[in-house]
Amino acid sequence: MLISIGSMAVSFAALVVVLLVYLPSARRRVAAAERALRERDAENQALAGRLIVAQEAERRRIARDLHDDLSQKLALLNVEIDLLATQGIVDWHRREQRFRRLSRAVAEITSDVHDLSHELHPSKLRPLGLVTALDALCRDLSCKYGIIIDFHHIGGPVTHDADVCLHLYRIVQEGLHNVVKHSSATHAIVEVEVGSAALDLRIADQGRGFVPTAAAREGIGLVSMRERARIVGGQMIIHTKPAGGTRLGVRVPTVAERSREQSARVVSIRSAMHT
């Protein structure tokens, strides 16, 4: 009896020691986890705020493009047509010149509408596929901003579905806009490499580069690119440093690889349950 009371006292003392040693460190771990959660929450809120501000800025830009540019051009066109109707020009050569001027103005407006609608949604993507749409995007931006953008397609055809392709297209669009806006580079390279296990997307420039931790607080472009990569089951990696250019890579597993990975995971969970 005496022995069992003694051993109970020893176990109780051991329990007290264990609690005294582990409780504070467990408390510290919980407090650290809570702090990290609060920080993540604050970051998410700040990001949501920046997203709304950016959305509004984008709407303002589209409204400005529509109002200051397109509607002004249409108003001018209307005046030209009115004048042509009332002036009753009989000289066929002068009349032809005026019609040609009108035709050029209409072509310019058509191209503006095409650019704007393409910016809102890349309509070429679905019928032509990712590779052709990216090739066209590189050519368009190259013409518009006067920088050389080389596009390379390596490997087989892209087999990812349309939603994945739209995210990848938007990633390249933002990546190239960043090259134009921030890098001061005169040359950029976009590569799509389709392998048996993954699709690799690369955007590279030899421009001024940047410090990624500082950039995280600036805009929403890089954040949304990373988020798009995550949504399609891939990940984005950035290699950059001041004066060292920027290389941005996105790797997305192919459909076959993803289902192979999933079945491998199921097998390992099953075998873990049976051991």
Ligand X SMILES: Nc1ncnc2c1ncn2[C@@H]1O[C@H](COP(=O)(O)OP(=O)(O)OP(=O)(O)O)[C@@H](O)[C@H]1O
147, 210, 228, 236: which one contacts ligand X (CB under 6 A)?
Answer: 210
- Closest-CB residue for ligand X? 219
Q: How far is the CB of 45 from Mg ion (least distance, A)?
A: 21
Q: Is 218 in the site for ligand X (CB under 6 A)?
A: yes
Q: Are 132 and 139 in contact (CB under 8 A)?
A: no
Q: Are 73 and 109 in contact (CB under 8 A)?
A: yes
d(C-alpha 140, C-alpha 149), whole Å: 10
Q: Are 105 and 76 in contact (CB under 8 A)?
A: yes
**DSSP-derived 3-state class of residue 247:** strand
Q: How far is the CB of 22 from Mg ion (least distance, A)?
A: 48
133, 160, 169, 182: which one contacts ligand X (CB under 6 A)?
Answer: 182
- Per-residue contact track with Mg ion, 207 to 226, x per CB under 5 A? ------------x-x-----
- Closest-CB residue for Mg ion? 221
Q: Are 238 and 210 in contact (CB under 8 A)?
A: no
Q: Is 206 in the site for ligand X (CB under 6 A)?
A: no
191, 193, 220, 233: which one contacts ligand X (CB under 6 A)?
Answer: 220
| Relative orientation angle of helices 162-178 and 130-145, to the nearest 10 degrees | 20
179, 190, 201, 236: which one contacts ligand X (CB under 6 A)?
Answer: 179
Name the segment binding ligand X (CB under 6 A); options: 98-106, 121-129, 203-211, 252-260.
203-211
Q: Is 73 in the site for ligand X (CB under 6 A)?
A: no
Q: How far is the CB of 177 from Mg ion (least distance, A)?
A: 6
Q: Tell me whether residue 18 or residue 46 sits nearer to ligand X (CB atom).
A: 46
d(C-alpha 190, C-alpha 152), whole Å: 6
Q: Looking only at residues 221 through 260 of this chain, which bind Mg ion when binding is defined by CB under 5 A?
A: 221
DSSP character for 243? T
Q: Which long-range contacts (CB under 8 A, 24 or more apart) does 156-160 make?
A: 156/194, 157/129, 157/131, 157/194, 158/129, 158/130, 158/131, 158/192, 158/194, 158/199, 159/194, 159/254, 159/255, 160/130, 160/199, 160/232, 160/252, 160/254, 160/255
Q: Tell me whether residue 137 or residue 194 sits nearer to Mg ion (CB atom).
A: 137
**What letter represents residue 180's amino acid?**
V
Q: Looking only at residues 245 through 264 of this chain, which bind ligand X when binding is defined by CB under 6 A?
A: 246
Residues within the interface to ligand X (CB under 6 A): 54, 178-179, 181-183, 205, 207-210, 215, 218-222, 246
Q: Which positions touch Mg ion (CB under 5 A)?
A: 178, 219, 221
